[in-house]
Amino acid sequence: MARALAILLLAPIAPLGAASLGCGKRAAPPEAHRAVRVGKLAATVDAPPSWEVTSLGKDSYRVGTGPGEQVFVREVAFPPRTLDELYATECARAIEPGTKATTPPGALIVECRLTSTTPDGNEVELFHVASLIRAGDRGIKCHFGIDGDASAATAVCRSLRP
């Protein structure tokens, strides 16, 4: 018994972030992202390879594959100038305090949880993210609201840059 315990204690431990599966196999690494220029906007995001850019009209684009796996990127005529203004605009109805930050490339980003009502009258809780870069007097905003796993979409909006 003591010998078995000693062997277990000396066994190598997988480094943080390396998910292991049974029988010594490791999980597949996360899907690598690629830089994607967003239409005619002066903006780039890092998106999974399966995500496409689709025009939704003048200066408005969807980056993704469909509901739950998408973000919207569009030009904003009168963009907020500060993190507090962006938070007040995007998270005014937050059900709990959210977060606000500036990304390394200089985008303002806010995250919060909101409630929304579906067309059939059901109330859902959404994870909402909005990031913004300034482009002269205008801005470019990446945003979404998802009721499921928002990690891929959040990474895309966090990567917004000129």
24-56: per-residue pLDDT in tens? 545 444 567 788 899 889 899 999 999 999 999
Dump pLDDT digits (tens) for 59-82.
Answer: 999 999 987 789 999 999 999 999
Residue 134 pairs in a beta bridge with 139
Which are the contacts of 125, defined by CB distance < 8 A and separation ≥ 6?
A: 95, 113, 114, 115, 116, 147
CATH of 31-158, one of 1.10.3720.10, 3.10.100.10, 1.10.1040.10, 3.40.1000.10: 3.40.1000.10
Q: What are phi and psi of 129, to 5 degrees?
A: -130, 140
pLDDT at 1: 40
Half-sphere exposure of 148 (CA within 13 A, CB side): 6
- What percentage of the chain exceeds 70 in pLDDT? 81
Phi and psi for 101 in degrees, rounded to 5?
A: -160, 170
pLDDT-above-90 percentage for the chain: 64
Dihedral pair phi/psi, residue 63, rounded to 5°: -115, 115
Amino acid at 20: S
How far is residue 126 from each of residues 49, 68, 80, 103, measured CA to CA in Å?
25, 11, 22, 22
pLDDT of residue 159 exceeding 70, the answer is: yes
Does residue 23 carry a pLDDT above 90? no
Domain ranges of the chain: 31-158
pLDDT confidence tier of residue 118, bands split at 50, 70 and 90? confident
pLDDT for position 8: 31
Report d(CA 138, CA 129) in Å as an integer.
Answer: 19
Phi, psi of 104 (to 5 degrees): -55, -40
Stretch among 20-24, 59-63, 111-115, 152-156 having the lowest mean pLDDT? 20-24
| Predicted TM-score of the model (pTM) | 0.77
Confidence of residue 21 (pLDDT cuts 50, 70, 90): very low
